[in-house]
């Protein structure tokens, strides 16, 4: 993937940080956006929760080969305790934030001779998981949006795909995995007997960005240790 220009939204920690490392090692020129500064080819401070406009700096390249949208939320509550504000927050971060970034970068993705967009969903859209009503709603909307965009943008040679992880050992999930007992119990819920790693998820996104996935679009790759398909 040498010399590709890629935009990562949310690369300061977890999966995004690992993906940044992988792409730089591959020879990509990686630009980033998010709340925390990142050592990259160029960075924009931007907050997915604030409904702020996303603007591409004038000194960034005219052509981008890929974009990955990584911001996410884990708000797990019984349905009766979820407020409208909770649903709005999850929808803003997971869906509308992506819309803002995608609309800003789209003209530059169209100038590439084939480009790739990757978004992150959750295994909870594939199987029923209690206390996931808000996040499942938002990620389900994101998957529907990605599929629609894959169809609409195919004539422009823009591929749009989804990575849907199960529970992954990241800072976002730290409250769920902050003791050895919790980590072991979470691992045992997966057929492969462990939770996901940032390497697992970043590798999936890296594949979708690569030329090896040049004939793949409109797909959702569930990276979940077998949870959604096996008993």
Contact 194, 165 (CB under 8 A): no
- Of residues 172 and 140, more confidently modeled: 140
**Does residue 231 belong to any structural domain of this protein?**
no
Task: Please report the pLDDT score of residue 186 as a whole number.
Answer: 75
Q: Pairing state of beta strands 29-34 and 5-9?
A: parallel
Q: How far apart are CA 105 and CA 63, in angstroms?
A: 9
pLDDT one-digit tens code per residue, 142-153: 999 999 999 999
What is the model's pTM?
0.95
- The band of 175, judged by pLDDT with boundaries at 50, 70 and 90, is confident
Angle at 26 between CA 12 and CA 203, to 5 degrees: 60
In the beta sheet, which residues pair with residue 43?
32
- Position 179 confidence tier, pLDDT thresholds 50, 70, 90: confident
Percentage of the chain surpassing pLDDT 90?
85
| 71 located within any domain | yes
* Cβ count within 10 A of residue 128: 7
b (16+ CB within 10 A) / e for 183-204: beebbeebeeeebbbbebbbbb
What are the CA-CA distances from residue 15 to residues 61, 85, 91, 157 (Å)? 24, 27, 20, 26
The per-residue DSSP string of 168-207 comes to B-SGGGGGGSSSHHHHHHHHHTSTTSS-B-HHHHHHHHHH
Question: In this prediction, what percent of the chain has a pLDDT beyond 70?
Answer: 100
Condensed to tens digits (0 to 9), the pLDDT of residues 121-168 reads 999 999 999 999 999 999 999 999 999 999 999 999 999 999 999 988
For residue 229, tell me if it sits in a domain. no
Determine, yes or no, domain membership for 64: yes
Residue tagged 């052509």 (tokens): 63
Asked if the structure places residue 228 within a domain, the reply is: no
Residue 102 lies in a domain: yes
Within a domain: 82: yes
pLDDT per residue as tens digits for the range 36-55: 999 999 999 999 998 888 99
Average pLDDT over residues 177-204: 88
Provide the pLDDT for residue 88: 97
Assign 150 to helix, strand or coil.
helix
Mean pLDDT rounded to a whole number for the chain = 94
Give the integer Cα–Cα distance in Å for 155 and 150.
Answer: 9
**Is residue 7 classed as helix, strand or coil in its secondary structure?**
strand
List the domain range (segments joined by +) for residue 211. 5-223
How many distinct structural domains can be found in the chain?
1
CATH label of the domain that carries residue 33: 3.40.50.720
Average the pLDDT over 195-206 and give the result.
Answer: 96
């Amino acid at each position: 993937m040498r010399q590709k220009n890629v935009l990562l939204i949310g690369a300061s920690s977890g999966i995004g940080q690992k993906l940044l490392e992988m792409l730089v090692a591959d020879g990509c020129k990686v630009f980033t956006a998010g709340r925390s500064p990142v050592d990259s080819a160029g960075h924009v401070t931007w907050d997915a929760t604030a409904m702020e406009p996303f603007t591409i700096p004038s000194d960034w390249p005219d052509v981008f080969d890929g974009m990955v949208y990584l911001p996410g939320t884990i708000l797990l509550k019984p349905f009766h305790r979820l407020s409208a504000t909770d649903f709005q927050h999850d929808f803003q971060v997971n869906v509308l934030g992506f819309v803002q970034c995608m609309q800003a970068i789209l003209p530059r993705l169209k100038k590439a001779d084939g480009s790739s967009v990757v978004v992150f969903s959750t295994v909870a859209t594939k199987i029923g998981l209690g206390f996931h009503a808000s996040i499942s709603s938002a990620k389900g909307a994101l998957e529907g949006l990605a599929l629609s965009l894959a169809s609409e943008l195919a004539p422009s040679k823009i591929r749009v795909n989804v990575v849907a992880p199960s529970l992954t050992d990241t800072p976002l999930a730290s409250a769920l995995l902050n003791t050895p007992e919790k980590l072991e119990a979470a691992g045992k819920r997966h057929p492969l007997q462990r939770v996901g790693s940032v390497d697992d998820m970043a590798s999936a996104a890296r594949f979708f960005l690569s030329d090896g996935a040049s004939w793949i679009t409109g797909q959702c790759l569930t990276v979940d240790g077998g949870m959604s398909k096996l008993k």
